[in-house]
Amino acid sequence: MNSTTGTVLILGATSDIARAIARAYAKAGCGIILASRDSARLEADARDLALRYGVTARIAEFDVLDTGHHGEFLDRLGALPETVICVVGFMGDQAESQVSAAAAELVMRSNYVGPAAILAFVANRMETRGHGTIIGVSSVSGERGRASNYVYGSSKAGFTAFLSGLRSRLARSHVAVITVKPGFVATSKTAGLDLPKALTARPEEVARAVLAAQQKGRDVVYVRLVWRPIMLLIRALPERIFKKTRF
């Protein structure tokens, strides 16, 4: 069983999912560092976590796209946290990404290049230290490229593959790497969308899945188990059939 004690660093902490994860870990007694490009938005969250759960909670300025300063960001934190959770993500707009190289690049850098870069720094430091847990929130969208969001999906596929390789590399170093794959999640950004109830999780459900994955020493977790057979089927479809689908 992996430890869920110590301090937890949450990257991309302004999202509904990240906030739910912060509450789950704070309730479990962990100190929390909330990191985001707009860290001022997190001040109230940090105060609430400290008051509600009696843990230390602080904020840190972090820009996932500023890869040249990721090492400095970690240095400023002081002691390396026991657990680092990356919840950074940017859906973008598929139609825009199809015609704008800049828009497509932003999606790719936000979901893959930036997260992989910061977690590479974290991994090296945890490996030197000899323990720690890295958790990356990826997506079922990365399992196979779909016409409706293949730019986003490709970036998540890259992140998933990165986490898999990192997990294999660190398998003997007492550093755990966990990949979490939510499907649809009901958040403020998806409000108004007609999402299938059986496939749609709440942020609190994602948070419980993340915490349980670490406590149980899991490697790859689908937030709702129904996604596992669905994605197995999607991966198994022959390309000649898959390319005719419209989803």
Give domain limits for the chain.
Answer: 7-242
β-strands 31-36, 220-222: how paired? unpaired
Mind listing the pLDDT tens digit for each residue in 129-185?
Answer: 999 999 999 999 888 888 888 999 999 999 999 999 999 999 999 999 999 999 888
For the cut 60, the answer to whether the pLDDT of residue 52 exceeds it is yes
Residue 162 phi, psi (nearest 5): -60, -50
For the cut 50, the answer to whether the pLDDT of residue 1 exceeds it is no
In the structure, what pLDDT confidence band is assigned to residue 233 with cuts at 50, 70 and 90? Answer: confident
Tell me whether residue 152 is one of the annotated catalytic residues.
Answer: yes
Catalytic residue (one of 25, 53, 112, 152): 152
The pLDDT of 75-97, averaged and rounded, is 95
Mind listing the pLDDT tens digit for each residue in 143-155?
Answer: 888 888 899 999 9
3-state secondary structure of 128: helix
Tokens describing residue 179 = 């990949």
β-strands 200-201, 220-222: how paired? unpaired
**What is the spatial distance between Cα 74 and Cα 60, in angstroms, rounded to a whole number?**
10
How many helices and strands (H and E) does the chain possess?
10, 9
Q: What is the mean pLDDT of the chain?
A: 92
| Residue 119 contacts residue 86 (beta carbons within 8 Å) | yes
Tokens describing residue 75 = 């240095």
7-242: CATH, from 3.30.1330.10, 3.40.50.1110, 3.40.50.10860, 3.40.50.720: 3.40.50.720
